Amino acid sequence: MPFVAYVKFAAAHRRLIAFGFLAAFTSSFGQTYYIGIFGPAIQSEFGLSHTAWATIYMLGTLGSALLLPWSGKQIDRLELRLYTSLVGLLAVVACTVTALAINPAMLVIAIFLLRQSGQGLMSHVGITTMARYFDTGRGRAIAIATMGFAVGEAFLPFVAVLMIAVLGWRWSYGATALLLALVLVPAALWLLKGHVERHRAHLVHLATSRASENRQARSWTRAEMLRDPRFYLLMPGVLAPAVVLTAMFFHHLNLA
């Protein structure tokens, strides 16, 4: 696909694609490549070994993963602007709890909230929205939106290092909470202006498409998927890159 075609496509759907990009970018505050920058400062303040800090991170991440199947499906039940607002509020709370953490137990809660709101739900909001509301050009929409991950990964760790040097790690997460509350979440909601009409048109299109088919395509339920052995054969290949990269990002300052 020529670059010009991508530009024209993005311009024609600029608000919705910008929303997907912004959601992907905002997820960075709960991603390992951002949190990992704060690791040495947190370890120093709480007297944590690498093993203890990694265990705290593991517990928070696993807790978030266990909740995600329930919290993620709420995007199918709630209006997108409301869901985005709730996820954004959770991200603000997560950053605030991190900034105010006073012991390792509170750090587990903070990591859980950061991973749930950022790495889990904010990513989920951006990609699900692109997949749902784009029929023609869905791949292009997702490709452009996912650039938000790359931009966040390239830009925000550098910003985090500067903030920690100037403000300290606690005030840096406090500043992150303010940025989310005052800029990023309001911007995301502004980009969804007129979404009610878009969603109504999507429902009409969906009903019309299903009515015109000779047979209605049926999606598997989560229970059916979990009973299929092929799901478990695919899991190692899907999970391996994430596991390796998470470990490298989490310990990258110590490895360096």
Number of Cβ within a 10 Å radius of residue 108: 18
Alpha-carbon span 250 to 53, nearest angstrom? 10
Q: Which of 31, 22, 249, 3 is nearest to 147 (CA)?
A: 22
Q: Domain residues of the chain, as ranges? A: 3-217
pTM listed for this prediction: 0.87
In the prediction, which pLDDT does 54 show?
92
In the prediction, which pLDDT does 140 show?
92
Write down the CATH superfamily of domain 3-217.
MFS general substrate transporter like domains (1.20.1250.20)
Alpha-carbon span 8 to 89, nearest angstrom? 33
Exposed e or buried b per residue across 50-68, where buried means at least 16 C-beta atoms within 10 angstroms of its C-beta: eeebbebbebbbebbeeeb
Alpha-carbon span 147 to 152, nearest angstrom? 9
Determine contact, residues 118/29, Cβ cutoff 8 Å: yes
End-to-end CA distance of the chain: give it in Å, rounded.
39
In the prediction, which pLDDT does 210 show?
59
pLDDT along the chain (256 residues), means of 10: 79 92 96 92 94 94 94 92 96 98 97 96 96 87 94 95 96 97 95 81 66 61 86 88 77 66
